[in-house]
Structure 1
């Protein structure tokens, strides 16, 4: 039986970081989230605890007493100093998709971790090899790309860099499986597998809206009903965040060429603050969700 790390560090407590913490908490790990300041740390704790409380309600509705889920609340701590990662066998970086920010955050986490700890980035598009350049132990570094919403998603994309130790990849596969998710291993390449395909579909759907081909709901219905996608590309874009999609598109445009050029509509919507579910409005209205 695979045993998850007893203590998992998560650097960054936004939507993705909170989701990653939630998943490990429910699986039985102790989790510490490190944020940039006390206000952000407290907000991350509130976000995770609210999500876990909702899990308790769902458990009870399904006939469970929710005790295991309730215990997860007590296993969460937050901090502002990365020194709390000193006994973490695994630390997952989940800061926004900005190369300089991720590089600095990863170096900060690695300096605090035990020598045999595994460091992972939740990046959805930035090269693992590029992020590894400033690390002292690149063999113990890889990508763990979780999907939103993390607790419900069944997939984790494991990205192996050129220097990543195969034993580290094997351990990551075991941990992902123990979380109840399916690991998919890919080599380091622009956009990996999931972002490269998913973003390309999403960008084309945005261009279709921009050109007046069809309304967002009709484009999404075509993919859901015609191709059996669980969600259409525009609703998915709203869930991921238009700003996140734009950042990935910019990265892939620079690496892979014009087919990933961000549509002007996407840039305009981000500039207007229409970021999807997290802002209440994107291609859909989310005020009631």
Structure 2
């Protein structure tokens, strides 16, 4: 999807080898094609377009589709899940990842609001589960929330933070509370905007 493709692009541009896995046929290939369009468009606007295009080509060379679905992630150091915001779906996926991935692999969720502790309950080693919430659009937005579940180990947190920083992103650490930081602050602001419009304070366009 859009988030997964953006995360893959940023990781590859930072020098990481990336495997893309999607249950929908053709979705991973489409994500790589979309990343190519974004990278080449950005390269064309760069001061040194030739060097930027070369860097873009190298990044694209680090993005490949996982073969065999989830089983293709067996050698991954870190898996970043970016499926729909459905707790049952995420728990089922993390259970599968727990059975397939290396025992020392970090299992990260890009969830924006679902409890990391509850997701980790589906995993045999919950200390390696963590939240890694990127903002949309990923290539543009700098903030990443790193969320510790009840069992998340210090090592998992430190390794995840290092990966995020290697992508040129800014880490903010949140405890496992509803909405974490960003959405907990954002939702009241959105609600207040609707209240202001309802009360006739200003037009929707001006409030926006």
Same fold (TM over 0.5): yes
- Pair 49,105 (structure 1): closer, same or farther in 2 beyond 3 Å: farther
Q: Distance in 2 between matches of 1:198 and 1:108?
A: 33
Q: Distance in 1 between matches of 2:72 and 2:204?
A: 45
Q: Distance in 2 between matches of 1:186 and 1:75?
A: 30
| Equivalent residue for 1:63, pick from 19, 31, 48 | 48
Contact 2:132 2:146 in 1 (8 A): yes
Equivalent position of 1:46 in the other structure:
33
Q: Give SS of 2:130's match.
A: strand
Equivalent position of 1:281 in the other structure:
none
Q: Give SS of 2:20's match.
A: strand
1:196-211 matches, cutoff 5 A: 196-211=184-199
Query: Aligned residue pairs: how many?
Result: 205
- Pair 72,192 (structure 1): closer, same or farther in 2 beyond 3 Å: same
Q: Give SS of 2:179's match.
A: coil
Q: Distance in 1 between matches of 2:191 and 2:41?
A: 33
Q: CA deviation at 1:63?
A: 1.8
1:165-204 matches, cutoff 5 A: 165-204=153-192
- Pair 212,105 (structure 1): closer, same or farther in 2 beyond 3 Å: farther
Q: Give SS of 2:159's match.
A: helix
- Pair 132,69 (structure 1): closer, same or farther in 2 beyond 3 Å: same
- Pair 199,164 (structure 1): closer, same or farther in 2 beyond 3 Å: same
Higher relative contact order (CA 8 A, sep 6+): 2
Contact 1:122 1:145 in 2 (8 A): yes
Q: CA deviation at 1:118?
A: 0.4
User: Structure 2 unaligned runs (5+)?
Assistant: none
Output the aligned Cα RMSD. Answer: 1.7
User: Structure 1 unaligned runs (5+)?
Assistant: 1-13, 221-289
Contact 1:23 1:179 in 2 (8 A): yes
2:15 maps to 1:28? yes
Q: Distance in 1 between matches of 2:99 and 2:41?
A: 35
Contact 1:25 1:76 in 2 (8 A): yes
